Amino acid sequence: MDTTNVSEIVLATDGTAVEFPIVVGGREVRCVLTRDALEQCFWLPSNADEARLLKAFADGRNRIFALAVRRAMQTKTDSLKLTASDFER
């Protein structure tokens, strides 16, 4: 199954999330990871600027993408919103 990651990662215009696409099974899925998830699960300080937010995303990229791919394969949707609860074990 194709799980190619596209490198287009952007901060949402309101600063509350990181948006990124993944490709799963030949289809593109638009993903949104909330800032709250980065704060709760990836050690992002609550007062962090855009550069630090994107660094926290980059640091957790493998885990974030793995979860996004799993969810995309399960739901067969074209968009996903990942929150802190998605990373709870």
Give the CATH architecture of domain 10-87.
2-Layer Sandwich (3.30)
- pLDDT given for residue 7 in this prediction: 58
Residues 50, 12, 36: CA angle, nearest 5 degrees: 70
Residues with Cβ < 8 Å from 79, sequence gap 6 or more? 29, 30, 31, 32
Angle, helices 61-75/50-59, rounded to nearest 10 degrees: 70
pLDDT tens string 45-73: 999 999 999 999 999 999 999 999 999 99
- pLDDT given for residue 2 in this prediction: 52
Distances (CA, A) of 35 to 3, 10, 11, 30, 67: 24, 12, 10, 16, 16
Checking if the pLDDT of 4 tops 50, the result is no
Domain ranges of the chain: 10-87
pLDDT tens string 9-50: 999 999 899 999 999 988 999 999 999 999 999 999 999 999
- pLDDT given for residue 1 in this prediction: 47
